Chains A and B, each alone.
Chain A
Amino acid sequence: MVLLGCALAVVLLGLSPFFLDAYGIGLVVGLLGYATLASAWAMFSGPTRYISLATVAFFGVGAYTAAVLSETLPWPLVLVAAGVVGAVLALVVGLSTLRVAGIYFVIFSFGLAELIRQLITWYEVNVTGTLGRYIFLDIQPQHVLWQLLALGVITLALAALIERGRLGLALKAIGDDEVVAAHAGINLARTKLTLFVLSATIITLVGAIQAPRWVYIEPAIVFNPQVSFLTVIMALLGGANRRWGPILGAVPLFLLFEWLGANFPDHFSIILGMLFILIVFVLPDGVLAAIEKLRRKEARA
C-alpha cells in the first residue's frame, strides 16, 4: 500500500515537468531539494541526536565542485567527483569531530561552514581573481528535477535499508543507551562515522545537482547558512526519528517559506525564529510523534 503510494508519487513528480510552467518546475525542484536535504540530515542526526549545522558546508562544496569541473568533465563524472569530494571531506571532519558531543558539535559544525565559506571567498578573490563563477551547461530545469527525484528515492531507499539492517539495529541500541550499546559490542565511532559520511555525501550531491540552476554562483549564495537552519527545522518539525518525518516537515515549510520570501521578505527571520521556539515547546519530537501519542491516549480512553 505504502509502496504503491510511493510509486504513484514518484511517477507524478517525474511527469510534472510536462504539465507545469517554469515557475511550477522551479518550485518542485526546490521542494525535492529540501526534502532530500532534510531526509539526509535526519539519517545521521535523528538517531545520534547530533544537531549538525554543517549542511550548507557540504551543499556549497558540492555546488562549487560542480562549477569548477563543469567545463572539463562530462556531467555524470562531475557528479561522481562531487560525491567523492563530499565523502572525503565528511570522513576528515567526522574522524576529527565525532568525539566532540552536544553543544560543541553544534557550534563546530556551524563554524566549519563559515570557515569553508571564508576560505573559498578568500581563495577566489586573491588567487583566481574573481568572486563568482558561471556554469554554462545544457541542463534544463526538468533534468535537475529528475536527478533530484532519483537522489531522493535513493536516499529514502537507503534509509529503509539501514533501518532493516544491522546498522539500524545498532543505531536503535545507541539511541536507547550508548553505554549499553558499546558493551554489547557495537563500534560507536564507526557506526556514527558511516552515517555521517553517507548523509554528507547525499547533501553534497544535492548541491552539485542544483548548481546549474543558478548559472552564476558565489560563496554568499551557495554557503548561505539559511540552508542549514531550514534543513534542521524541516526535519525536526516532521520528526527526525521517523522515516517520513523529514519529508512531512519539508513540504509545508518549504511552501511557507517560499510564500513568505515572496510576500514578507523582511519578516522571514522573525517567523523562522518563532517556528523554532514553537517546535521546542509544542512538538519536541515532531508532528508524527505527537500524532502517535495522541492516538495512544485515545486508545487508552
Chain B
Amino acid sequence: MLLSTLVFGLILGGTYALVALGLSLQYGIARIMNLAYGEVVVAAAFMAFLLFTGFGISPLLALLIVTPMGYGLSWLIYQFMMRPLVKRSGATGRLEVDSILATFGLLFIIQGVMLVTFGGNYHSYSYLTDGIDILGTTIAMNRALSFVLSVVIGGGLYLALTHSRWGLNLRAVALAPRSAPLVGIDVNRIARSGFALGGALAVAGGVMMSMNQTFSASYGVVFTMKALVVVIMGGVGNLFGALVAGLMLGLVETFVLVYVDPGLTLAATYALFLAVLLWRPEGIFSRRSK
C-alpha cells in the first residue's frame, strides 16, 4: 500500500513538475505571471482529445503537432499583448498589476471559448490503458508513458539550458535582465522565446495529462494553482527546485487521497501553497538573500 502510493505519487508528480517548468520559465525569463497558464494546458488536452476521437491520431503524434502550435501562439501572445505592456511600464512597477489583469482576461476568454465549444462536461478518452508492473504496483501504461515523456522533455530542456549558447542567453536574462543588453543580448527577443517555450511546455503537459485524466473546460484554474505551488515552492526559475517540488506535490496529493480523505486533496494543495507562501515565498531551495 505504502509503496504503491509512493509510486503513484511520484508518477503524478513527474507530470506536475513538467507543467510547472513552463510557468517557471515564463515568469523567470519574461517576467510575466501568466494566470491563463492552466487554461492553455486544458486547451491542449482538448486538442489531443479532438485529434484522437475525431481523426484517430495518437496522443504521441498529437504531441508533435500541438507543441509547436503552443510555441507559436504563446509567441504571438507575448508579441502583441505583453510586449506593449512591458514597454509602457518601463521601470515603474506597473507591469506586475497590468500583466495579472491582462492574463486574467486571457484566462476568461480561453475558458469561455472552450465552454462554448465543448460544454461544461467532463471529457476523457482511453489510450494505452493496459497495466504494467512497476515495483509490484500495477500502473496504467499511459501514466508510465507520460512520466517517461516528462523525464525526457524535462531532462532535454535542462541540458539545452545548461549546455547551449541559447540556454546561456535565457539564463542571463533570467538572472540579470538589466545587464544582459550590455553583453549584446536582445532582451526582448529572449523574453519572447522564453514565454513561447513556457507555452510549448504547457501544451505538452496538457496532451500528456489528457491521456490519463478526465478534464473539463473549467479545470484550468486548478492547473494554474498546482503549477504555481510547484514554482513558488521550488523557487522561480529554479529547474531542480521545480522538479523536487513537483514530485512533492504529487506525493502529498496521493497520500492525502489514500490516507486522509479524497475530498481534501484540493484543500491539501491550497493549504500547502498558502503555507509555502507564508513560510518561504522565495522558495524552499533558494538561499535567503537579504
B-binding residues in A (CB < 8 A): 49, 51, 96-97, 100, 102-104, 106-108, 110-112, 114-115, 118-119, 121-122, 125-126, 225, 229, 236, 266-281, 284
The reply to whether A277 and B96 contact each other, CB–CB distance below 8 Å, is no
Measured CB to CB, the closest approach of chain B to A279, in angstroms, equals: 7
The reply to whether B267 and A119 contact each other, CB–CB distance below 8 Å, is yes
Q: In the complex where A51-B100, A100-B277 touch, is A270 in contact with B266 (Cβ < 8 A)? A: no
Cα distance A275–B29 in the bound complex, in angstroms: 27
**Cβ–Cβ < 8 Å partners of A269 in chain B:** 108-109, 111-112, 115
12 contacts between A and B (CB under 8 A): A97-B278, A103-B100, A118-B263, A269-B109, A270-B109, A270-B116, A273-B111, A276-B104, A276-B108, A277-B101, A277-B105, A284-B94
Measured CB to CB, the closest approach of chain B to A233, in angstroms, equals: 9
Measured CB to CB, the closest approach of chain A to B260, in angstroms, equals: 10
The reply to whether A275 and B105 contact each other, CB–CB distance below 8 Å, is yes
Measured CB to CB, the closest approach of chain B to A92, in angstroms, equals: 12
The reply to whether A236 and B104 contact each other, CB–CB distance below 8 Å, is no
The reply to whether B273 and A111 contact each other, CB–CB distance below 8 Å, is yes
Q: Counting CB contacts under 8 A, is B33 at the interface?
A: yes
Over the window 171-187 of chain B, the binary record of Cβ atoms lying under 8 Å from chain A Cβ atoms (1 yes, 0 no) is 00000000000000000
A-binding residues in B (CB < 8 A): 33, 81, 84-85, 93-94, 96-98, 100-102, 104-113, 115-116, 221, 225, 228, 232, 261, 263-264, 266-267, 270-271, 273-274, 277-278, 281
**Cβ–Cβ < 8 Å partners of B97 in chain A:** 49, 51
Tally inter-chain residue pairs, CB-CB below 8 A.
112
Cα distance A125–B108 in the bound complex, in angstroms: 30
Q: In the complex where A96-B278, A111-B270 touch, is A270 in contact with B112 (Cβ < 8 A)? A: yes
Cα distance A272–B221 in the bound complex, in angstroms: 16
Query: What is the chain A residue whose CB lies nearest that of B106?
Result: A273
**Cβ–Cβ < 8 Å partners of B104 in chain A:** 229, 273, 276
Cα distance A279–B85 in the bound complex, in angstroms: 12
The reply to whether A111 and B263 contact each other, CB–CB distance below 8 Å, is no
Cα distance A119–B273 in the bound complex, in angstroms: 15
Query: In the complex, which of the residues A110, A118, A267 contacts B112, with contact meaning CB atoms closer than 8 Å?
Result: A267
**Cβ–Cβ < 8 Å partners of B108 in chain A:** 229, 269-270, 272-273, 276
Measured CB to CB, the closest approach of chain A to B118, in angstroms, equals: 11
Query: What is the chain B residue whose CB lies nearest that of A108?
Result: B277
Cα distance A280–B264 in the bound complex, in angstroms: 36
Residue with the greatest number of chain A CB neighbours at <10 A, chosen from B108, B221, B271: B108
Cα distance A100–B225 in the bound complex, in angstroms: 17
Query: What is the chain B residue whose CB lies nearest that of A236?
Result: B101
Residue with the greatest number of chain B CB neighbours at <10 A, chosen from A107, A236, A268, A271: A107
Cα distance A15–B126 in the bound complex, in angstroms: 61
